[in-house]
Amino acid sequence: MKAKVLVTGAYGLLGSHTVKELIENGYHVRAFGRDAEKLQKLASEYESDRIDIFCGDFCNAAEIEKACDGMDFVIHCGALLKGWGRRSEYIRTNVGGTKNVLDACEKHNVKRLVHTSSPSAHALKNNLNITEEDQNENNRLNYYIESKLLAEKLVRGQDRVPYSMIRPRGITGIGDKNMLPVLINVNRQIGIPLFQKGKVLVDLVCAENAALALRLCMEKDEALGQAYNITNGEPKPVTELAEEMFTALGTKAKYIRLPFMPVYAAAGIMEAVWKLLRIYDKAPPLTRINVCTLGRSQIFSIEKARKELGYEPKVSLSEMIKKYAEDYKRG
């Protein structure tokens, strides 16, 4: 049997696909997460000699340290992903938690930490060829982005633990709770915001492909100390993605045409009001990150991953949409 790999956030969208990718390629996985029931359900999908579970919180240094004992590699998928909340929550989980993972890897001489970072090049203009060097380290569009940038800086700024990392853009697929469900709900309520007459390109990655990239980052010598943009490499206009999605769901896409800058400004005002009133349990109707995602084309180059990792997406967006729609209709 191959090496032993700890996967944090193991029952999440990316984590669960990473567990599957590793087991199918001969690795033994230790699935790490806070929910024992979800961990048990995940483990039940595989032979017992291929997976074990560890119920814990990587924000607890002692728990993640114990979980890393005996592991050859660690793949850090766990993070606070929700789009709105207190800054302290994001810093504690995404920065403090990552420090705990690094410390645990160092103590147990883990061969390599593969860290899941995030691309951060949102801007008020279109950019159709964003490389790894174009990462905007000063992006403060929301607390999630800020915390992920700080966590990446923490990993890249140390020499105690060998590492590599991916920057996946818009992870989606069956189990997605942050992207396609939002699109479905918005379409049902008011219609999908349409900027630039629907010419905005959306760049996404299927969870299976992001999981593949994580495995390659763990295996390839070329990946040591490197970061990689990861997408499906098939950007689509918002309207094309929506039409394909809602046709598969058996309904129709609705649109509402909007001007970018006034809507962006309105989103900024709403965020300021929500913060002033200390409303953190529910996001404002509009956020700047969502306006930028739908209102500006941000296309990430994956040439470095193709060249150095041999990365080629194995699941197309059309395949993903079909599978997602079938799963959604089953309820």
In a domain, 241, yes or no: no
| Domain carrying residue 126 | 4-172+204-232+299-314
CA distances from 218 to 145, 230, 326 (A): 24, 15, 32
Strands 201-202 and 236-237: antiparallel
CB 211 within 8 A of CB 17: yes
Alpha-carbon distance of 251 to 45, in angstroms, equals: 33
Tally of domains in the chain? 1
Tokens matching residue 226: 């490197």
Buried b (16+ CB within 10 A) or exposed e, 295-306: bbbbbbbbebbe
262, part of any domain: no
Residue 110 exposure: Cα atoms within 13 Å on the Cβ side = 32
Q: Given the structure tokens 């119920």, which residue do they identify? A: 55
Look at residue 285 and tell me if it is in a domain. Answer: no
Is residue 12 domain-resident?
yes
Written as tens digits, the pLDDT of the chain (331 aa) is 689 999 999 999 999 999 999 999 999 999 999 999 999 999 999 999 999 999 999 999 999 999 999 999 999 999 999 889 999 999 999 999 999 999 999 999 999 999 999 998 766 788 999 999 998 888 888 999 999 999 999 999 999 999 999 999 999 999 998 889 888 988 998 899 999 988 999 999 999 999 999 999 999 999 999 999 999 999 999 999 999 999 999 999 999 999 999 999 999 999 999 999 999 999 999 899 989 988 999 999 999 999 999 999 999 999 999 999 999 988 7
Alpha-carbon distance of 75 to 59, in angstroms, equals 16
> Does residue 254 lie in a domain region?
no
Question: Phi, psi at residue 150, to the nearest 5°?
Answer: -65, -40
159, exposed or middle or buried, with CB in 10 Å at 0-12, 13-18, 19+?
Answer: exposed
- Let me know if residue 16 belongs to a domain: yes
Q: What is the CATH number of the domain that holds 168?
A: 3.40.50.720
Query: Which string of DSSP letters, residue by residue, matches 290-330?
Result: HHHHHHS-EEE--HHHHHHH----SS-HHHHHHHHHHHHHH
- Do the domain assignments include residue 238? no
- Residue 329 maps to a domain: no
Q: Helix, strand or coil for residue 280? A: coil
